Amino acid sequence: MILSDRDIKSRLKNDLIIKPLNLEEQLGPSSIDLRLDDEFLTFKLSDHSLIDPKDYKDKEIFRRETKNTIIIENVYTRKFIMKKSFIIHPGEFVLASIIEYVEIPHNLVGVVEGRSSIGRLGIMIHVTAGYIDPGFCGKITLEIANVGKIPVKLYPKMRICQLVLHNLSSYCDIPYHKKKRSKYQNQKGSQHSKISEDFE
């Protein structure tokens, strides 16, 4: 069962945490709008012809700062911390984050969906991982792709997606934060893949 606005407000007073949150601007009839943070992680295609999930470890090499941007060079990716906006080009894929810190109770599951207004510009906000487990704590990483034919400018603080909350049939036995391999627990900012940990 999907939570209504009334149910969401009730859970926010108890065990659901989403902050900072402006209910008047962000609460819909059955979802909560989440806002885009200022970090964008792109792949450096010219440096690598292949990604091997077994060996994928993305470590920082160096950083530099310009007037409106901090650029962090990693092994596979380049992170941009933007003060104004970020342009995503047709066919481009970036990882981004939301402003809000989220804690999902043990008897709820979250599903991240795109907003219609963003989708009509050709922007997908998650490629495959829109599911937020019970017990997850942290900032949600978005897998943004431009499937349109025109570049689109994205702004920090814009409402980029919506979180839909579903009741579980009962409390789960092992919430995400108690799993042995909860590798994205307490993540902050746009988080790169940790898939290599699956092979350890």
Q: Which CA distances in Å does 151 have to 3, 25, 66, 74, 89?
A: 35, 27, 22, 24, 4
- Structure-token pair, residue 118: 């963003």
Q: Which residues are catalytically annotated?
A: 143
Q: What's the number of CA atoms in the CB half-sphere (13 Å) around residue 71?
A: 12
Determine whether 132 is exposed, middle or buried from the number of CB atoms within 10 Å of its CB (0-12, 13-18, 19+): buried
49: CB partners within 8 A, 6+ apart: none
